[in-house]
Amino acid sequence: MHNTAISLIQLGAIFFGLGVLGRLAWKIGISPIPLYLIGGLAFGEGGLVPLHGIEEFTHIASEIGVILLLLLLGLEYSASELMTGLKRSWTAGVVDIVLNATPGAVVGLLLGWGPVGALAMAGVTYISSSGIIAKVLGDLGRLGNRETPVILSVLVFEDLAMALYLPILTTVLAGVSFVSGLTAVGISLAAITVVLVVALKYGRYVSAVVDSPDPEVFLLKVLGAALLVAGIASQLQVSAAVGAFLLGIAISGSTAENATRMLEPLRDLFAAMFFVVFGLNTEPSSIPPVLALALGLAAVTTVTKVMTGAWAAKRQGIGPMGRARAGAALVARGEFSIVIASLTVASGAVDGELAALATAYVLLMAVFGPVAARVVEPVARMVQKRGAVTASA
């Protein structure tokens, strides 16, 4: 009973602390992700107050957090929207991969982490944070802007790329044979193809299976389906998160809207635990040695993301101001980068220093991304004004 009481006290303190950190983030206008990571660093290994006895719960809670993050991301898109976005953005998506995965891969090789570390770091620096970006666009009232469909198209391509990348990464991390690796990737491709076909032609039936007029029954069915699909995907050596993402795509219409509304509080709760657990498992003293490298990587990949968004917007005939906004909006990194780093470190295939570098990098980018999106417009106007003055002179 004593151990139970201690565990409840620790969990209560964590949840209450997360609420305080979330409120602080809301007050200063940034994503709460970096504050959650800092909270985990403060109370984890080598932190101020190490926590014990709640590891099993926090591990499961963090896994559910990843599943819900990807499920709700899938719920944002219908299969037809995904296909339309892919057709519209594939060239920009390829440019995005080249410009933003390369810096991470180079750093992984230079640090001696080999091809596996290079593959992991390429994913960390490549993928933007859909959650942070969507929130920032909503907060700034830019959802109706001309450049917003371009931003969303790039994010759609990134999400599809992750659906292929994560199974490849998990296969490589597992150290399986080449044939087994090809099998896992083939299963992933087949699963994605089947889900897209089912979602396009029979999505209403999938939605009908999980739908219910009773909110309690509906919540249980949707959450249960997500965990079941994620577990089956994991057994097939396809990422559990990707399985949840594909289920989200298959659910459409009013069912998807209701599921999003009901699951958002659960997602926020368990996703917060995911970021805290990652921080708990990272040694705070390991961050200062990699901070300079993280700053350099953040600077380079900020420029490459801005270039990606601006180029994609230019191809759609959008003016200079819209191009600047599109580029700045894509800067933020967050949940996916931490998911990739977490998978890599947990496998033991790469030095634990990768977790420290990824944490420092995401801390920087999760803060700088929303700031860049807010200040880009006045900065761009100032640059335009100076250019006009210079030209007239």
Question: What is the DSSP track for 203-254?
Answer: HHHHHHHH--SSHHHHHHHHHHHHHHHHHHHHHTTS-HHHHHHHHHHH--HH
pLDDT for position 330: 93
Answer whether 358's CB lies under 8 Å from 124's CB. Answer: yes
- Between 314 and 200, the higher pLDDT residue: 314
pLDDT given for residue 303 in this prediction:
95
Give the mean model confidence (pLDDT) for residues 8-27: 86
Q: Residue 80 pLDDT > 90, yes or no?
A: no
> Where does the pLDDT of residue 220 fall: very low under 50, low under 70, confident under 90, or very high at 90 and above?
very high
Instruction: Please say if the pLDDT value at position 312 is more than 80.
Output: yes
Q: Going from the N-terminus, what domains does the chain have, and what CATH number goes with each?
A: 36-379 (1.20.1530.20)
Q: Is the pLDDT confidence value at 1 over 50?
A: no
Q: How confident is the model at residue 176 (pLDDT cuts 50, 70, 90)?
A: low
Can you tell me the mean pLDDT for 344-359?
81
Mean pLDDT is lowest, of 218-232, 277-291, 293-307, 315-329, for: 277-291
**Cα distances (Å, whole numbers) of residue 109 to 23, 98, 119, 171:** 39, 16, 9, 19
**DSSP notation for 129-140:** -HHHHHHHHHHT
Look at residues 6, 347, 315 and name the one whose alpha carbon lies nearest to residue 153.
315
pTM of the model: 0.74
pLDDT value at position 219? 92
Nearest to 246 by CA among 205, 201, 188: 188
Better-predicted residue by pLDDT, 355 or 389: 355
Predicted pLDDT at 337:
87
pLDDT of residue 101: 95
In one-letter notation, the amino acid at residue 50 is: P
Residue 120's pLDDT is 92
pLDDT tens digits along 60-76:
888 888 788 778 877 87
pLDDT for res 328: 92
Return mean pLDDT, the chain.
Answer: 81
- Reported confidence tier of residue 145, pLDDT bands at 50, 70, 90: confident
Most confident of 75-79, 97-101, 146-150, 194-198: 97-101
Residue 363 pLDDT more than 70? yes
> Span 79-89, mean pLDDT?
68
In this predicted structure, what is the pLDDT of residue 87?
Answer: 73
10 Å CB burial of residue 38 (0-12, 13-18, 19+) is middle
What's residue 301's pLDDT? 96
What's the distance, Cα to Cα, between the start and end of the chain in Å? 80
Q: Which of 223, 274, 231, 218 is nearest to 248 (CA)?
A: 223
Mean per-residue pLDDT, 92-104: 94
Q: Token match 């807010």: residue?
A: 374
